């Protein structure tokens, strides 16, 4: 019931948006009649689960908005909480059963929607629909079920000190990277605001189409943040074969008319003042320093050689997570020139592990040394006999426990 309710709610939201688009902009090729609207809504539902699809004569479409994943993720989290409350689950170790029990029917529903959404023009990937539906349901429903049993602070406190320090250090690093990526992408959008308005005017979407276009751009905001993080790391990203957007300069070809793409930096040399470029390249190192300090602050270690290891572990975990995000933030837009769009997950992951992991190890070791140095020395008993000048109270009376009672 929870899996069906989550899937049906997501389909209902996307069907409404598809119907609005079909009414306000019939030229976009949504389809004819209610059947076309439902098939397009089913395809959008699969896209929200990051399921790629192939278009006849164009190739594979894998450059999908990460923001849409929040819709099924939130619905599955609510489904997990509902299962816990309805089934009377009281133990935290049963959360895994709740997640898997929700994920199996949800994956079957995702496979059925993938089959029902196929047309002679486009065909979603069946195996991706099943795998993505299962993985997303396990993660989201599991988190929702755990949250129904205890608040996040309580759940974090249940972890052992050392794993908790590594996880919190990784999250601290990722938080700083995301904030910097959001600031960089937003600043570039503001700097190219004139080009963004020209692209919007060229599309001439109308009132209803403008609202849908705005929603589409909001859905791609997480992709833009990940691209900006890849930019600060150094490898950058591509928008077409033979193109690159990196701190050292950009080489771009023709770009599709989409307002957000007007914020892409162009030119063989980086634009802006030199201090800004230096600050962007320093972001990963600052994030590594912050993550290493958080790691050892939560769980210091008396072994000086162990602190850099735990800092490197937290930084490497953040680097691997960054590479995974980069792999999902891009994808092909057909089989032609735009077959390579977005950052390379392998390159971003390797560079992030090296940059963030090493600096987190150094920062963790230094912070742990300072913590141990500032720690107060253990108190020792005063060996001075009573009556001596060093005795804090020379008038103390000491009783002999072995004396005979008079």
Same domain, 180 and 248: yes
pLDDT 10s digits, 54-107: 988 888 899 999 999 999 999 999 999 999 999 888 888 889 999 999 999 999
Distance from the Cα of residue 210 to its chain's centroid: 28
pLDDT 10s digits, 10-32: 999 999 988 887 777 655 556 56
**How many other C-beta atoms can be found within 10 angstroms of the C-beta atom of residue 43?**
25
Dihedral over alpha carbons 251, 254, 259, 263 (to 10 degrees): 10
**pLDDT confidence of residue 385:** 53
Which of 158, 192, 223 is the endpoint of a domain?
A: 158
Q: How far apart are CA 310 and CA 339, in angstroms?
A: 39
Q: Which of 27-31, 56-60, 282-286, 335-339 has the lowest mean pLDDT?
A: 27-31
The DSSP string of 88-135 is: T---GGGHHHHHHHHHHHHHHHHHHHHHHT--SSEEE-HHHHHHHHHH
Is pLDDT of 113 > 70? yes
Same domain, 262 and 180: yes
pLDDT 10s digits, 348-378: 999 999 999 999 999 999 999 998 888 665 5
Buried b (16+ CB within 10 A) or exposed e, 169-199: bbbbbbebbbebbbebbeebbeebeebbeeb
Enclosing domain of residue 242? 160-376
Which of 158, 188, 208 is the endpoint of a domain?
A: 158
340: Cα within 13 Å, side-chain hemisphere? 14
**pLDDT confidence of residue 380:** 52
Same domain, 219 and 356: yes
**pLDDT confidence of residue 30:** 60
**pLDDT confidence of residue 406:** 47
**pLDDT confidence of residue 383:** 52
**pLDDT confidence of residue 322:** 96
The single residue listed with the structure tokens 């914020």 is 263
pTM exceeding 0.85: yes
> Can you tell me whether residue 327 is helix, strand or coil?
helix
Dihedral over alpha carbons 153, 159, 161, 162 (to 10 degrees): -130
**pLDDT confidence of residue 217:** 92
Same domain, 72 and 215: no
**pLDDT confidence of residue 207:** 77
Is pLDDT of 159 > 90? no
In a domain, 390, yes or no: no
Higher pLDDT, 160 or 22: 160
CB 287 within 8 A of CB 221: no
CA separation (Å) from 160 to 164, 242, 361? 6, 48, 21
């Amino acid at each position: 019931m929870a899996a069906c309710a989550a899937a049906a709610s997501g389909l209902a939201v996307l069907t409404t948006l598809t119907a609005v688009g079909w009414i306000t902009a019939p030229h976009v090729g949504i389809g004819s009649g209610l059947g076309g609207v439902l098939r397009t809504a089913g395809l959008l539902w699969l896209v929200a689960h990051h399921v790629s699809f192939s278009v006849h004569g164009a190739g594979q479409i894998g450059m999908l908005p990460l923001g849409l994943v929040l819709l099924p993720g939130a619905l599955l989290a609510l489904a997990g909480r509902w299962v816990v409350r309805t089934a009377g689950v009281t133990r935290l170790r049963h959360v895994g059963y709740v997640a898997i029990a929700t994920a199996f029917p949800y994956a079957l529903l995702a496979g059925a929607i993938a089959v029902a959404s196929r047309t002679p023009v486009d065909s979603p990937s069946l195996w991706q629909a099943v795998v993505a539906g299962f993985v997303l349901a396990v993660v989201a429903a599991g988190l929702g079920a755990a949250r129904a049993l205890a608040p996040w602070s309580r759940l974090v406190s249940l972890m052992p000190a050392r794993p908790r320090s590594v996880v919190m250090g990784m999250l601290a690093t990722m938080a700083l990277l995301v904030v910097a990526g959001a600031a960089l992408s937003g600043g570039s959008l503001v700097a190219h605001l004139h080009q963004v308005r020209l692209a919007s005017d060229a599309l001439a979407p109308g009132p209803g189409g403008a609202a849908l276009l705005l929603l589409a751009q909001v859905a791609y905001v997480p992709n833009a943040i990940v691209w900006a993080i890849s930019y600060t790391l150094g490898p950058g990203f591509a928008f077409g074969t033979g193109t690159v957007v990196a701190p050292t300069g950009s080489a771009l070809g023709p770009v599709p008319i989409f307002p957000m793409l007007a914020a892409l930096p162009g030119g063989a040399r980086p634009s802006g003042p030199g201090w800004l470029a230096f600050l962007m390249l320093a972001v990963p190192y600052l994030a590594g320093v912050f993550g290493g300090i958080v790691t050892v602050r939560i769980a210091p270690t008396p072994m000086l050689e162990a602190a850099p290891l735990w800092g490197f572990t937290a930084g490497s975990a953040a680097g691997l997570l960054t590479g995974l995000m980069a792999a999902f933030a891009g994808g092909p837009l057909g089989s032609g020139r735009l077959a390579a769009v977005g950052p390379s997950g392998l390159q971003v992951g390797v560079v992030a592990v090296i940059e963030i992991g090493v600096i987190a190890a150094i920062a963790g070791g230094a912070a742990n040394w300072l913590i141990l140095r500032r720690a107060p020395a253990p108190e020792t008993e005063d060996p001075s006999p009573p009556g001596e000048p060093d005795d804090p109270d020379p008038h103390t009376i000491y009783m002999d426990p072995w004396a005979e009672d008079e």
